[in-house]
Chains A and B, each alone.
Chain A
């Protein structure tokens, strides 16, 4: 009795299918992808009575077996392919009590495939409120199947469902509807040509819109040539089939399903009136956005500071405890820094998905789509692109993950590709320090130039996103015809358990999916920055110490002293000790800077100098541009290392940057021209390996992130070049 029962969970969207899945499997679930495509695969294990176990597969939500999206075709393929290892022994069709009629359409189709099917009628707790009564026994007889009346909210009926699954062998395999009556001759011909195959199955393969994966196509190669009927004829037949099924369902429900219309009419209408109102609708949406922003931007600051602090002290601890050497450095500066770079994003991702899950569970998300669709359409985007684009201003990583709600692949791809243009929070440190350096004081209409610059950078980000969406919409030739049909579900109180699972699962998929790549790149960057082949690199300590002894400290250390000696009281007896400590630190910083200059990374910086010189940068900024490919905020830290000042000394870095002179022009290196050029470069360049990793994960191909990298970097380079050459 060790064989697991394969169970497929299938149902319309918004029927609480996921809640049923969660209740059956608890935490025994995992989420992955179907091989080769980006459709999410959710599976879990459920313990049944009498020691039997069931493997439960949660199929993507679908209204019927006539697929219109990749997600849906995954469901159909699995049901058709008897050789698939996940091919179900029994299918559970989840329906909700209010939309039973529509849900039964899918049920009859599954029955017609002769797969044993159990009908779950979910949300049974709403029955009395909605005045609904169902004659379950009669309905079971009419559908020739078994029914479990379930309430995931009240947690009732799940045990009955478990019993039914364990007992699946007793489920009848009879068909509900004989669809051949819609075109008797045609179906007869099908049956005689393929005597071994089921006619309904053949019909499904012939009529699919979405490209099928190779599997059954070979078997039905002749079937497709058999589709002698034109596309529109087939469509007509599909319509006839749908009408036929509804006739069958209406006939059954007439006898078994009663609704007392006098029962409460629900508050949907009232709430809809407010939430989709032409003024209040936008106002409420705006307020919700503000809250989400505040959470991602403000509230997550505390956990992020904690994480940051933790990794800083962990690095410190490793360096102090382990014997010094390459291995210790690898752990401290490569691995720990890499893991820190992943974990730091967890609060933002968790907050964003907490809100998204809440909005989806309550049914509000469909209203946002409804409100925004017309506004987004001219740009090749849909109402569903709004949430990702806006969350991109916090961080592109959760934003790209949030595009999963867009069913139309083309609209989703465009959204993924343009989202990184929006100004994320990692650009902020770079913007702030450069704006402070190069943008003059003064104000326009009461707004300071600095604030105006920052605002224009945000607007430019959105502008670039919209503009590239328009272009992509023109050039991308993707056949994914999907019409805009969005169900507006009933408003519901969110089930906290479901929200929790979603947050957990999305966070996990980020940490283990994108995390691997981030870690790998950060180890590579560490290696390049801490190794070198030249004698200068190997003897950095002696060279720098000797130079300091002979010529005194460098200009940057003098600035470092100036900034720090202000606080020193010469009469303080400890003053000389403190002075000594400062000198020691300055020496260490100079050695680190010298080392970086002569490391592989340093040579790379010098190698790319000819490329970045037209933008007004020198090789040092070149290095910072390379290292900040890991994440934009690394820019500031790298400059700090190069200029040999402590990492956390913001004031010092700024003073040091201001003092830097361009050796060729003898003018300050950071002037208005090079500053603006840098700002623009960071506004448009794809300087974030984590985003690339996530885009790779979400599109399942390196093609798109590579294209994104090339296009955005090129665009950034050209814009920065023009700006520098004009302002110079």
Chain B
């Protein structure tokens, strides 16, 4: 299974690879959620949903169902970017 934003742990970062669903809201892209950008999981809501991410300097909350469609490569702690 592909790694997506929904798989990030709190504080973990990743680089967006692609969207596995074409109909993601364009608003998300406009906020800077674009392939190649770094995305960080800032906070998870108490019932595990929604999640709160920082991408390209934009802090946004999205629901988990949407996060599942944003594929990424996780940046391991020892990697330097």
Contacts and interface: CB of A to CB of B under 8 A. Distances in A.
Contact of B60 (A236, A269, A273, A486): A486
Interface stretch (A81-89, A197-205, A368-376): A368-376
Nearest to A487: B60
B30 interface: yes
Interface stretch (A94-102, A572-580, A600-608): A94-102
A547 to B, nearest CB: 68
Interface stretch (A62-70, A297-305, A613-621, A641-649): A62-70
Given A105-B30, A371-B45, A235 B23 contact: yes
B28 A483 contact: yes
A662 interface: no
Contacts of B60: 485-488
A68 B57 contact: no
Interface string A77-118: 000000000000000000000110110010000000000000
B59 A487 contact: yes
A243 B34 contact: yes
A282 B45 CA distance: 11
B59 A488 contact: yes
B30 A242 contact: yes
A63 B43 contact: no
Question: Chain A: interface secondary structure?
Answer: helix
B61 A486 contact: yes
A244 to B, nearest CB: 11
B26 interface: yes
A235 B26 CA distance: 8
A489 interface: yes
Interface string B26-58: 111111101100000011011111101000111
Nearest to B26: A66
Interface string A27-54: 0000000000000000000000000000
A243 B23 CA distance: 16
B26 A282 contact: no
Given A98-B57, A276-B43, A64 B63 contact: no
Contacts of A483: 24-25, 27-28, 62-63, 66
Contacts of B45: 276, 370-371, 373-374
Contact of B28 (A269, A373, A485, A488): A485
A395 to B, nearest CB: 29
A98 B59 CA distance: 12
A231 to B, nearest CB: 8
A375 B47 contact: yes
B57 A99 contact: yes
B31 A272 contact: no
A172 interface: no
Contacts of B63: 373, 483-484
Contacts of B59: 268, 487-490
Contacts of A485: 25, 27-28, 31, 60-62, 66
A239 interface: yes
Contacts of A101: 32, 56-57
A102 B28 contact: no
B78 interface: no
Chain A interface size, as a band, is 35 or more
Contacts of B23: 231-232, 235
B57 A239 contact: no
A238 interface: yes
A99 B55 CA distance: 12
Given A483-B27, A485-B60, A488-B59, A374 B50 contact: yes
Contact of A239 (B26, B31, B32, B66): B26
Nearest to B19: A239
A246 interface: yes
Nearest to A207: B26
Contacts of B30: 63-64, 66, 102, 105, 242
Nearest to A230: B22
A366 interface: yes
B22 A235 contact: yes
A513 interface: no
A281 interface: yes
A102 B58 contact: yes
A246 B52 contact: no
Interface in A98-155: 98-99, 101-102, 105
Q: Looking at B34, B46, B52, which has the most chain A CB atoms within 10 Å of its CB?
A: B46
Interface string A554-594: 00000000000000000000000000000000000000000
Q: Looking at A105, A276, A281, which has the most chain B CB atoms within 10 Å of its CB?
A: A276
A281 to B, nearest CB: 7
Interface in A364-391: 366, 369-371, 373-375, 383
A278 interface: yes
Nearest to A484: B63
Contact of A64 (B26, B50, B52, B56): B26
A383 B59 CA distance: 17
A49 B29 CA distance: 40
A269 B23 CA distance: 31
A269 B43 CA distance: 9
16 contacts: A68-B25, A68-B26, A102-B56, A232-B23, A235-B22, A239-B29, A242-B29, A268-B59, A273-B43, A276-B45, A369-B61, A484-B62, A485-B31, A487-B59, A487-B60, A488-B52
Given A276-B43, A486-B62, A487-B60, 14 more contacts: A101-B57, A235-B26, A239-B29, A242-B30, A272-B52, A281-B46, A282-B46, A373-B45, A374-B50, A483-B24, A484-B61, A484-B62, A485-B27, A486-B61
Interchain residue pairs A-B with the least CB separation, the first 3: A278-B46, A374-B47, A488-B59
